[in-house]
């Protein structure tokens, strides 16, 4: 019953430069802007990609142009060493604020994103 409100977009992993850092991350397809139909997201839930420590770094910077200022982002499995390092790197970005980690299962990092 969610067909009216959900669009699934495939984004393969590619090596790319994000915020001056070379990383493997999702290649956001051109149809993302079209799928949003001019709207900006209020919530970003990051649960992937799976890979070596730090692989999730690029996701937040790549989606930031499609996110409303003040939107919430959540990172799953935030208590892993690689994700804690990603949290430190995100906190240094001018458009991201890391608010903390909820101690649920493997941790949920919660933050806010704003305009660059």
Convert the pLDDT of each residue in 57-85 to its tens digit: 999 999 999 999 999 999 999 999 889 99
Q: List b or e across 83-98, with b for residues whose CB sees 16 or more CB atoms inside 10 angstroms.
A: beebbebbeebebbeb
Contact in structure between 107 and 83 (CB atoms under 8 Å): yes
Convert the pLDDT of each residue in 4-54 to its tens digit: 777 777 888 899 999 999 998 888 877 788 888 888 889 999 987 878 888
Nearest-angstrom CA–CA distance, 61 and 89: 11
Q: Does the pLDDT at position 108 exceed 70?
A: yes
**Of 40, 115, 35, 48, nearest in space to 86 by CA:** 48
């Amino acid at each position: 019953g969610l067909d009216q409100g959900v669009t699934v977009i495939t984004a393969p992993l590619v090596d790319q430069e994000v915020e001056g850092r070379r990383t493997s991350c999702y290649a956001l397809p051109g149809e993302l802007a079209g799928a949003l139909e001019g709207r900006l997201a209020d919530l970003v839930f990051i649960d992937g990609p799976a890979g070596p420590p730090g692989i999730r770094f690029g996701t937040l910077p790549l989606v930031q142009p499609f996110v409303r200022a003040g939107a919430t982002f959540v990172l799953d499995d935030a208590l892993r060493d690689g994700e804690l390092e990603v949290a430190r790197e995100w906190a240094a970005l001018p458009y991201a604020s890391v608010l903390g980690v909820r101690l649920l299962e493997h941790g949920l990092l919660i933050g806010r994103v704003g305009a660059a």
